Amino acid sequence: MIGTFESAAERVRRLGDIHQAGLRFRKMRVRRIFRTLETAMSAGPMSLRELRQIVQQDYEAPVVSLYLNFSPDRLVRADRPVFLSVFESLQHTELERRTEYLQSLTRSQRMRLQDDVAEIRLFLETYRPEGARSIALFKSGDQLVRGLPLTVRSADSLTIDPDPYVEPLEAIMEANRRVLTIELSKDAATVSVYHLGLEQIIDTVKAPAEGQPAQSGRPKDEVQRHFQTHLHWHLESVARLATRAFRERDCELVALVGEAPLLDAFDDFLHKSLKDKLLIKVNPSPGATRAQWRREIDAALDRLRGQEEAAALGELGRYRAHGRLAAGLEAVLEPVNLLLARQLYIRSDLQRPGWICRDHHYLSLQPGRCVFDGTELAPVDNLADELIEVARLHGVDVMVISKRAELLDPFGGVAAVTLPVAPSP
């Protein structure tokens, strides 16, 4: 016998709870609408689903997409943050580049665009990056107001276009694992998504009320069984919520947080597909804050990332032996400019000024003219950022190496795997 039936009343209540949990979950999936950039920016992680919705929507006015880096030199204390002048210069360049498109807009679309740019500026004037390395931000009137701080670097860019420019954000989101976190105690559980240093609580469930065993004077073991049944139901409902959240929120890994014996008991309830994705079990000491145990999850993610980087870079020797490897920034630019790169491995801290033609995705370490149209190349602070962005736009598999950077030392910090046979000119 694997169990006993509960009473009819309890049965009805349990089924009601299951139904309510499903309903509540579906309601929360309705897209969140933000009124200001401040609220959008502090709204927690973005799901790939939300990003896709942003891309699929049609917009009445142009969309402003902004990616802005907060490298340490841009955070010097000054009356006007340095990143504000970077923003102004990006804005100037883009307005110049898109003259034709801007002229095709209606008066009201142009007004809306002006308001959006002014609003973003105002937002940046008071924004404090606090641990963020960069931000991504999308704005089109009230139709689209979304932004998020990022724990990784991205190339500076400001785009004004009918559609949002999401590729850099998409790549960053895909390269960083989304963790479903289940914080479990005997009488409650909190399920959240942790991604790119941001956390969003999805749901909190309380264990079913234990009530009293029907008659006092029951044998002790029966009372014991009663409480066990309730714990059993609790763990079961948490597992059900977790399975649903894992799937719906595009999670890739699972972290369990709680006392060791309880987490071990929970193992039997956790769906196999989630058990296979277990990243870590955290047993926080009593009174530990969320921020404290999140650091343990970060450390586990870093370890995993380090292993993945080492495995990927271990393949480079083989490509080199087959004459399919370009190593060092100068050598790597050629296959990327020629659209012949397949994979790109680059140190996250690689920094070198360079020149670029944004219209033709042409990168150079020397000033000069674009080989395609002869216009003068524009200087950039860091060609590595541009290289990453251009490579991604070309569909190159890009891995930014942050944990095992020393493994790229023999390759000058950056390496590209090229197509097997270069087509003859």
As given in the structure block, the two tokens for residue 255 are 């972290």
Nearer to Zn ion, 177 or 361 (CB): 361
Rounded least distance, CB 374 to Zn ion, Å? 8
The contact mask relative to Zn ion for 354-373 (x = CB under 5 A, - = no) is ---x-xx---------x-xx
Restricting to residues 244-283, name those near Zn ion by CB under 5 A: none
Rounded least distance, CB 364 to Zn ion, Å? 11
Q: Which long-range contacts (CB under 8 A, 24 or more apart) does 192-197 make?
A: 193/44, 193/45, 193/47, 193/245, 193/249, 193/251, 194/45, 194/255, 194/294, 194/297, 195/45, 196/45, 196/148, 196/150, 196/151, 196/152, 196/172, 197/131, 197/149, 197/151, 197/298
Rounded least distance, CB 369 to Zn ion, Å? 8
Rounded least distance, CB 360 to Zn ion, Å? 3
Q: Is 348 in a helix, a strand, or coil?
A: coil
The residue range among 142-150, 192-200, 353-361, 377-385 that interacts with Zn ion, by the rule CB under 5 A, is: 353-361
Nearer to Zn ion, 315 or 359 (CB): 359
The contact mask relative to Zn ion for 370-389 (x = CB under 5 A, - = no) is x-xx----------------
CB atoms within 10 A of CB 14: 15
Relative orientation angle of helices 167-175 and 383-393, to the nearest 10 degrees: 90
The residue range among 113-121, 286-294, 334-342, 352-360 that interacts with Zn ion, by the rule CB under 5 A, is: 352-360
Nearer to Zn ion, 227 or 372 (CB): 372
What is the total count of residues that contact Zn ion (CB under 5 A)?
A: 6
The contact mask relative to Zn ion for 302-341 (x = CB under 5 A, - = no) is ----------------------------------------
* First CA to last CA distance, the chain: 75
Q: Is 69 in a helix, a strand, or coil?
A: strand
* CB distance 105 to 24 below 8 Å: no
Rounded least distance, CB 170 to Zn ion, Å? 25
Q: CA 373 to CA 240: how far, in whole Å?
A: 59
Q: Is 355 in a helix, a strand, or coil?
A: strand
Nearer to Zn ion, 64 or 377 (CB): 377
Nearer to Zn ion, 14 or 358 (CB): 358
Which residues in this chain contact Zn ion in the complex, by CB under 5 A? 357, 359-360, 370, 372-373
